[in-house]
Amino acid sequence: MRADRLVATLLLMQARGRVTARQLADELEISVATARRDLEALSAAGVPVYPQPGRGGGWSLLGDGRTDLSGFTASEARALFLLLGPRAGESAAAASALRKVMRALPPTFRADAEAAADAVVVESGGWGAPASTPAAVHPLQLAVVERRLVGFSYAAWGREPVDRIVRPLGLVDKGGRWYLVADTDGGVRSYRVDRMTDIEGRDERFEPPAGFDLDAAWSSLSAEIEQTRVRTTATVLVDPEVEAEFLGWVGQAESKGTSVDGRTIVRVAGQTDEVLARRLAAWGAHAEVIEPPALRQLLAGFGAALTARYGDDGPSDAETSSDGSGRGYASGDA
């Protein structure tokens, strides 16, 4: 795991003072390119790791030959644990190494490092296409670590933006989609970071709720999010030759076996019947909705509207397909 390697890289550099990417690669049994990326990641995170070009060069940790971490500054220690802490749970060895590094830190820096290590939860799988890390993540991480209030404007789905001031408790990376978990006057809430604008850290500090655990809080919140995302379901019969493409296109869908006529039974979930209708409209030739009746009626209405608009003078079936298959494609909620 990468967290193991980054911790091992740091401790190896402390023991030797200077290493080359080749030496590091040989020691950790990784490629030279991977070793170089790990060194660059430590440097970019604010850990005092510097390249030295030329003959006899390599990568050095500021303060050659140190065998402990007493030379770290507060910001360097925090940067290290912001980088490594979220991934440590992937490996018992990485978690053990981080605990050893934590014990070696000066006591005055340990609280910030512990807060940084617990600031982010990483969860595989997502509720949509992976997104790049928003620029807002870094200042939000700092607000979590420093326990400072943060203000922002938030636009929930289908609603106008509302100004909010919250007590940030942690961040969650859910398959590339980032969420802020925060304490509010109404309890612990989650906010999608890509829907936050005008983010402003404030001077006021706060203390987290007694016994707060980010993993437990996120588990509860994510269950609530899942319930709000799935308000309706549908049963669809899908031609087997397009099953894989259908599942990838529609999302929130699961195969349930094979029907008597050889088609695949698929259970599809969505927020509303209309959202599902828009997702399924492109698959009229290869997918048949069995239930609910309301969704069938919506699709029939879409078909009637399309016929009214294009039926008399529209292009032929073959001309509507971008790949020559005769199947049209819809955009929108895929």
pLDDT one-digit tens code per residue, 190-231: 998 989 999 998 999 998 888 888 888 888 887 776 666 557
- Would you state the pLDDT for residue 159? 77
Q: Where along the chain do its domains lie?
A: 2-117, 123-229, 232-320
List Cβ<8 Å contacts ≥24 apart for 86-90. Answer: 86/119, 86/120, 86/121, 86/122, 86/173, 87/1, 87/2, 87/3, 87/122, 88/3, 88/117, 89/122, 90/1, 90/3, 90/122
- Would you state the pLDDT for residue 13? 77
Of 3.30.70.1060, 3.30.450.80, 1.20.1560.10, 1.10.10.10, the CATH number of 2-117 is 1.10.10.10
Give CA separation, 209 vs 23, 114, 143, 223, in Å: 46, 16, 16, 21
Of 3.30.70, 3.40.50, 1.10.10, 1.10.3470, the CATH number of 232-320 is 3.30.70
Query: What is the rounded average pLDDT for all residues in the chain?
Result: 74
Band the pLDDT of 313: cuts 50, 70, 90: low
Q: What is the pLDDT of residues 248-261, one digit of tens each?
A: 777 678 888 898 89
Whole-model pTM over 0.85: no
Whether pLDDT at 321 is above 70: no
Q: What is the mean pLDDT of residues 25-33?
A: 85
